[in-house]
Amino acid sequence: MRIIEYITFDDVVIVPRKAPVDPQYVVLESNITRNHRIRVPILSSPMDTVTEQDLAIEIARLGGVGVIHRNMSISEQANMIQSVKSASPDFKHLFDTISINELDKSYLQSDKPLIITSNSSPIGAYIPAKSLSPALVEKIDLVLRLLRTGHVKPSLDNNGRLLVGAAISPFDIRRAEALEKAGADFLVTDVAHLHNVEALSALKKLAEKISIDIVAGNIGTKEAVLDILSKVESISGLRVGISSGSICSTGVVAGASVPTLTAVMNAREALEELGLFGRIPIIADGGIRGPGEAAKAIVAGASAVMSGRLFAGTDEAPSLLVRIGDKLYKTYRGMASAGAMKRRHAADRYSRPSKQLEEGVEGLVPYEGPLVKVMSRMFFGLQASLGYAGASRIEEAWNGVLARVSSLGAKEINPHDLVK
Ligand code: IMP
């Protein structure tokens, strides 16, 4: 038997190449499906401690997009989609915007902060001294910093409403139809191992009934991509990575895995063979700890990354806030953990548990504050990484180069030899 080799994020580094522009001019816009483009290439995972309406609204306002989880009844999920579609796409609830030419003393008596713009770009803010908590002032500062880059704008549909995705099972046509009717922009299949004869024939039937974009996943091999696209030609995106998630125990309990970086490389190879690379976006899902992993996935061929771990600790995530000693945490759990599976069955008695096996764990992650904090870190970090990769936009980063480092090298990359 031949043993093949799989590469993970820590095995490689981005080879620095001549940067065509300064990092602040790097544009991070990218496609997440054949028909939808977002401003910052990040999706939040459909998980019941991560993406419900609050997070989906805020992440789309900040240029990413959320995928609402399916661990609830069809009507609850459809209502959440409708809430996102009817939410204001800007930050009007936080502050008003006023052009510098219109600035008048009477406005400064308002209790609401004012963002001052010149030629529609934010140039400063007026924050009234009274009645704002320090946390809100910090949030406003962070939002402003992002908006001031000029690159971060909300991810919108053609009617100017926030973009949103929804998770489905390929076996649940009723749910898929209800979500399409509720206004979801795209659907994401939420299956640990989509490359399965029954799941594929169910997906084929579902795709015939649905006209919005469908992202298929999770898959990890070249064969899976070729097989899926030969059966369901209309697939509009690929969600790749098996068992790299921070709450995932599949690799241990089932012994199976395709690490996210390898899954991206495999999907790219298949799409290149079909002449579809760059037309069907690859979404790298699982194991993204920060902009470094996201950038490596993009250089390998991904159009965007998906993460649960990055967002579970934020204010907008529907997880519980827990205090231990003087530290704050939020709960985070895999969708195949015991607790999540119990909720799914309670919420939807038609859900089809295909295995009697827990493939996920439950735990705590540090509390992070508002989502904009995490999105800022990702945005500025990705701009810098793409600069190193020699790219001024995502599609150019695909020409970047990754180099394998030894395990000693991987150790050296981390801060070291400090006393504290
Ligand atoms: P993370 O951001 O590294 O925590 O990975 C999140 C990803 O893990 C999700 O987008 C799913 O693809 C995957 N995932 C979610 N729940 C489970 C689970 O219970 N077992 C295995 N993988 C999971």
Mean pLDDT per 10-residue section of the chain, whose length is 420 residues: 95 97 96 97 98 98 97 97 95 78 69 78 74 80 84 92 97 97 98 95 97 97 98 97 90 91 98 98 98 98 98 96 95 92 71 73 95 96 98 98 91 82
Give the closest residue (by CA) to ligand 1 atom 13: 245
Residue 219 pLDDT: 97
Whether 334 lines ligand 1, by a CB cut-off of 6 Å, is yes
Whether 246 lines ligand 1, by a CB cut-off of 6 Å, is yes
Whether 287 lines ligand 1, by a CB cut-off of 6 Å, is yes
Q: Give the number of the atom of ligand 1 that is nearest the alpha carbon of residue 241.
A: 12
Q: Is 403 exposed, middle or buried (0-12, 13-18, 19+ CB in 10 A)?
A: exposed
Residue 92 pLDDT: 76
Whether 85 lines ligand 1, by a CB cut-off of 6 Å, is no
Q: Give the number of the atom of ligand 1 that is nearest the alpha carbon of residue 247.
A: 4
Q: Cα(185)–Cα(85) distance, rounded to whole angstroms?
A: 9
Strands 186-189 and 114-118: unpaired
Strands 237-240 and 213-219: parallel
Q: Which of 165, 167, 171, 166 is nearest to 353 (CA)?
A: 171
Active site residues: 248, 349
CA 248 to centroid of ligand 1, rounded, Å = 6
Q: Which CA distances in Å does 158 have to 120, 155, 324?
A: 21, 10, 46
Is the four-CA dihedral 382, 303, 169, 255 of positive or negative sign?
negative
Out of 191, 246, 247, 307, give the residue to mutate to test ligand 1, the one with the largest number of ligand atoms within 8 Å of its CB: 247
Residue 350 pLDDT: 54
Q: Give the number of the atom of ligand 1 that is nearest the alpha carbon of residue 244.
A: 3
Residue 140 pLDDT: 83
Give the pLDDT confidence of 50-70 residue by residue, as tens digits.
999 999 999 999 999 999 999
Residue 341 pLDDT: 86
143 φ/ψ angles, rounded to the nearest 5 degrees = -60, -45
Whether 285 lines ligand 1, by a CB cut-off of 6 Å, is yes
CA 336 to centroid of ligand 1, rounded, Å = 9
Residue 352 pLDDT: 62
Q: Is 353 exposed, middle or buried (0-12, 13-18, 19+ CB in 10 A)?
A: exposed
The whole-model pTM stands at 0.94
Domains in the chain, start-ordered, CATH in brackets?
9-88+155-322+371-413 (3.20.20.70), 94-147 (no CATH)
